[in-house]
Amino acid sequence: MNITKEQIDDLNAVVKVAITKDDYQEKVDTILKDYRKQANIPGFRKGQVPMGLIKKQYGKAVLVDEVNKLLQDNLNKYLTEEKLDVLGNPLPKQQDGFNWESEEFAFEFELGLAPSFDVQLKTKKATTQYKIVADKKMVDEQVERIQKQYGKIISKSEVAKGNEVNGTFTNEAEEIEHKTTVELDKIKNKKAIDSLLGKKAGDTISLKTKGLFKEDYLLSAALGIDREKAEKLNIEVDFIIEEINEREAALLNQELFDKLFGKDEVTSEKELKEKIKEDSEKQFEQQADQKLLNDVTEKLIADTKFDLPSEFLKKWIQVSGENPLSDDQAKEEYEKSEKGLRYQLIESKILNDNNLSVQFDELKEFAKGFIKSQMAQYGHLDPQEEELENIATRVMSNQDEVKRMSEQLMSQKLLTLFKEKANLKVKEISYENFVKEVYG
């Protein structure tokens, strides 16, 4: 067997494979002999069928199968040995008049080659690294929520300011019927507040959905519909009042602090606020990190210029799926996937240049950390190492979980690298302003 490569340009090549009778005949003969031993053909005893008949009946199929196996194995071996970084898979070139009756065969395969390029992490224009802080307003609001949540519920006969009203929203046309609790402090529409004040259990009032709550997301929860529908909704709904309560705020005392954080972990209102600020900013850090990862990724895609073997990739997309695609369909699919492919190549280059990889032992430790944080959410704060080890071993036996965690761990490594080497400018911002700036 002889394999050669013809370089068309930097991104395209053709591999030619020449196969002679010596490459396949011994294997074909062995298989046909086995067929002869097992063949059941009327008129002949088992194992006594003439070899000529076996060859006539099975010879071509065995030949084709063995030649294809030879092609696959040796082509893959050649690509590995030659260190050819190919995109997609080799595409066999159409050969008119190909003759399987010949003793020697020649095959050609088109290759799409990965481009050569450099990645500059320190871009000219800096990327914003958000540092989200929990400001005084946010901390004070959280303290109020805690006091309400752990406060005493006092039943009321009629609605007054600051009350919580349990009831059911209904609208027959929109098929809305949803029990919920409405906090008057979260209602934005003054007319709606006025119409609720003084009402009693059993009363029904009509409310306009548009601009009803101070926060838009509250409407979807109140009506039991998805947010997309709630955003477009501008109707009147009936609200049937069922129960009226006032929450008497819990005292900020040691009993409450112990209930929230464990005995003597927090001993004063000042420490409570410091703890809320610390915990909130840890949660915000995850959002800020994800934003940074996304922004650096987008900038790398935009700034790292290289060509792709686009025509080859369109042809490959056209034939690689379950069903063949038309030229237009393949072009559309390529355009959808091009950005993702570019980042895959950029990420691979970054990983190679910086020797980043995920090892089994560190993945297992990562899994233990994740399991420990999950257990902490359910009050299991100090699990034994043996318990963590057993759970991690079970998790690591699931390939889907291993893949998911590997991606998460690699994202963490990339984030650490970006923080060390990318051109970043830190911007301190409140969570409220972060949401406005990032999400509009």
Whether 77 has a pLDDT exceeding 90, the answer reads: yes
For 356-396, what is each residue's pLDDT tens digit? 999 999 999 998 888 888 887 776 767 888 888 888 889 88
**Mean pLDDT for the stretch of residues 27-34:** 91
Picking from 83-87, 97-101, 255-259, which range would have the lowest pLDDT averaged per residue? 97-101
- Please report the pLDDT score of residue 388 as a whole number: 87
Q: Which amino acid, 208?
A: K
Whether 84 has a pLDDT exceeding 80, the answer reads: yes
Residue 39 main-chain phi, psi, to 5 deg:
-65, 135
Contact 1, 19 (CB under 8 A): yes
Specify the residue for token string 């053909």.
41
The full set of domains in the chain, from first to last, is 2-113 (3.30.70.1050), 152-248 (3.10.50.30), 268-306+354-439 (no CATH)
Burial 391-413 (b: 16+ CB within 10 A, else e): bbeebeeeeeebeebeeebbeeb
For 32-75, what is each residue's pLDDT tens digit? 998 888 887 887 888 788 888 888 888 999 999 999 999 999 99
Contact 138, 280 (CB under 8 A): yes
> Counting beta carbons within 10 angstroms of the beta carbon of residue 15, is it exposed (0 to 12), middle (13 to 18) or buried (19 or more)?
buried
DSSP string covering 351-407, please?
A: HHHTT----HHHHHHHHHHHHHHHHHHTT--S--HHHHHHHHHHHHT-HHHHHHHHH
Whether 132 has a pLDDT exceeding 80, the answer reads: yes
**Mean pLDDT for the stretch of residues 71-88:** 93
Q: Pull the structure tokens for residue 302.
A: 């935009």
Reported confidence tier of residue 413, pLDDT bands at 50, 70, 90? very high
- Please report the pLDDT score of residue 381 as a whole number: 66
Distance CA 21, CA 97 (A): 19
Question: Strands, DSSP E only, in 231-388?
Answer: 236-248
- Please report the pLDDT score of residue 439 as a whole number: 81
Nearest Cα residue to 12 out of 128, 69, 90? 90
Whether 16 has a pLDDT exceeding 70, the answer reads: yes
Opening angle at CA 168, ends 166 and 171, nearest 5: 155
For 211-264, what is each residue's pLDDT tens digit? 999 988 899 999 999 988 998 899 999 999 999 999 899 999 999 999 998 889
Contact 421, 122 (CB under 8 A): yes
Whether 323 has a pLDDT exceeding 70, the answer reads: yes
Residue 436: in which H helix or E strand, if any?
helix 431-439
Give me the residues paired with residue 206 across strands.
Answer: 238
* % of the chain exceeding 90 in pLDDT: 72
Q: Pull the structure tokens for residue 36.
A: 């002869």
Whether 171 has a pLDDT exceeding 70, the answer reads: yes
Whether 83 has a pLDDT exceeding 80, the answer reads: yes
Reported confidence tier of residue 170, pLDDT bands at 50, 70, 90? very high
Distance CA 185, CA 168 (A): 18
What average pLDDT does the chain have? 92
Reported confidence tier of residue 410, pLDDT bands at 50, 70, 90? very high
- Please report the pLDDT score of residue 124 as a whole number: 84
Reduced to 3 states (helix: H, G, I; strand: E, B; else coil), residue 165 is strand
CB atoms within 10 A of CB 10: 12
Residue 246 main-chain phi, psi, to 5 deg:
-115, 135
